[in-house]
Copies of this chain bind each other. A is one copy, B any other.
Amino acid sequence: MRDDGRNENELRKVRVEQDYIKYPEGSILFEMGDTKVICNATVEEKIPGWLKGQEKGWITAEYSMLPRATDVRTRREATQGKIGGRTQEIQRLIGRSLRPVVDLKALGERTIWIDCDVIQADGGTRTAAITGGFIALVKALQSLVEKGILKNFPILDYVAAVSIGKVGENILLDLAYSEDCEADVDLNLVMTGSGKFIEIQGTAEGYPFNREELDEILMLGEEGINKLIEIQKSILGSIV
């Protein structure tokens, strides 16, 4: 049994507050245990310069943490005058995770910005940003369909993400921060509603892992993803 009483294959409690901020086309507060991320989706009626002439749209993400989302205050990236490597890695990952489930041609020449702002962090912020960011994205696309701007709903599949880790001798699903600190292996998994992989990022922090461990991790991850997609379905309805 884990510190917070969960079983090895148990997700933390997920809570989704819809229509959280009033301005964005899609906005939720996504909570996974004590990790809380505001996910806002903005529709912008233009595309990046390098995409011109391809008659399709774009999904891009930005990620940030409030200075005191963490136990010790972190200096703001704006104050440092640059975006750190970890932040860049995460926002690129969120974009890569969401784009494969959107029909960019059907989206038309517009960009959806997914802003993921972590107001409280307790591990798994990047996977929470993907799972919650997908909900905000869908909300924004639904509003475009409702307004008649989009004729066809351009979502191809659900997508969710979860972390799995090896802590001591145990493979655990959905690591809290205290577990993440002790993990020898840390793997983030992004999968679709139809059970396919979009992204696998596994890292051995000091302890290379073998094939059997990898298989166990992937199995546990898939289990978690399925539960998260059930939650998405309960909020968004049947969209594919």
Contacts and interface: CB of A to CB of B under 8 A. Distances in A.
Interface of A: 21-24, 27, 34, 38, 40, 42, 44, 62, 64, 66-71, 73, 76-89, 91-92, 96, 99-100, 113, 115, 117, 119-120, 157, 187, 191-192, 194-211, 214, 218
Contacts of A203: 96, 198-199
A82 B85 contact: no
Given A78-B83, A199-B202, A208-B192, A68 B120 contact: no
Given A23-B68, A100-B208, A195-B210, 5 more contacts: A38-B119, A67-B115, A89-B89, A89-B92, A197-B211
Contact of A85 (B77, B92, B192): B92
Main secondary structure on chain A at its contact with chain B?
mixed
A47 to B, nearest CB: 15
Contact of A24 (B68, B77, B78, B84): B68
Contacts of A157: 208
A100 B67 contact: no
A64 B69 CA distance: 14
Contacts of A78: 64, 76-78, 80, 82-83, 87
B42 A62 contact: no
A68 B210 contact: no
B113 A67 contact: yes
Given A67-B113, A200-B214, A210-B195, A85 B96 contact: no
Contacts of A194: 208
Q: Which 10 A-B pairs have the closest CB atoms?
A: A196-B208, A85-B88, A77-B78, A40-B68, A78-B78, A200-B202, A42-B73, A24-B68, A198-B204, A67-B115
B204 A197 contact: yes
